[in-house]
Amino acid sequence: MLKITFLNDNRCSSKNLECEHGLSILIEDNDKKVLFDAGQTDIFIKNACRLGIDLNDVETIILSHGDYDHGNGLQFFSKKVNLICHPDFMKDRISRRTGNFDGLNQNKEAINSKFNLIETKIPYNISDNIIFLGEIERIMNFEKRNNLPMLDENGNIYEHFDDSGVAIKTEKGIVVISGCAHSGICNTVEYAKKVAKDNRVLSVIGGFHLKENDIQTLKTIEYMKSSGVKSIILAHCTSDIVCQEFLNRLPEITSLAEVGKIFSF
Ligand SMILES: [Fe+2]
Ligand SMILES: [Fe+2]
Distance 89 CA to ligand 1 centre (A): 13
How far apart are alpha carbons 239 and 246 in whole angstroms? 11
Task: Dump pLDDT digits (tens) for 87-100.
Answer: 999 999 999 999 99
- In this structure, what is the dihedral angle of CA atoms 147, 64, 21, 159, given to the nearest 10 degrees? -30
Q: Which ligand is nearest to the Cα of residue 22, counting in written order?
A: 1
Residues 6 or more apart from 75 whose CB is under 8 A from it?
105, 106, 110, 114
Task: Dump pLDDT digits (tens) for 89-146.
Answer: 999 999 999 999 999 999 999 999 999 999 999 999 999 999 999 999 999 999 986 6
How far apart are alpha carbons 90 and 106 in whole angstroms? 9
Q: Kindly list the protein residues that place their beta carbon closer than 5 angstroms to ligand 2, a single-atom ion.
A: 67, 180
Distance 67 CA to ligand 1 centre (A): 7
The CATH classification number of 2-264 equals: 3.60.15.10
What percent of the chain shows pLDDT beyond 90?
Answer: 97
pLDDT, greater one: 243 or 148? 243
Question: Which class for 159: exposed (0-12), middle (13-18), buried (19 or more C-beta within 10 A)?
Answer: middle
Give the Å distances, CA to CA, from 45 to 19, 39, 69: 12, 10, 15
Distance 172 CA to ligand 2 centre (A): 29
Distance 141 CA to ligand 1 centre (A): 22
How far apart are alpha carbons 234 and 246 in whole angstroms? 9
Distance 179 CA to ligand 1 centre (A): 6
Q: Is residue 186 pLDDT above 90, yes or no?
A: yes
Distance 182 CA to ligand 1 centre (A): 9
How far apart are alpha carbons 5 and 48 in whole angstroms? 9
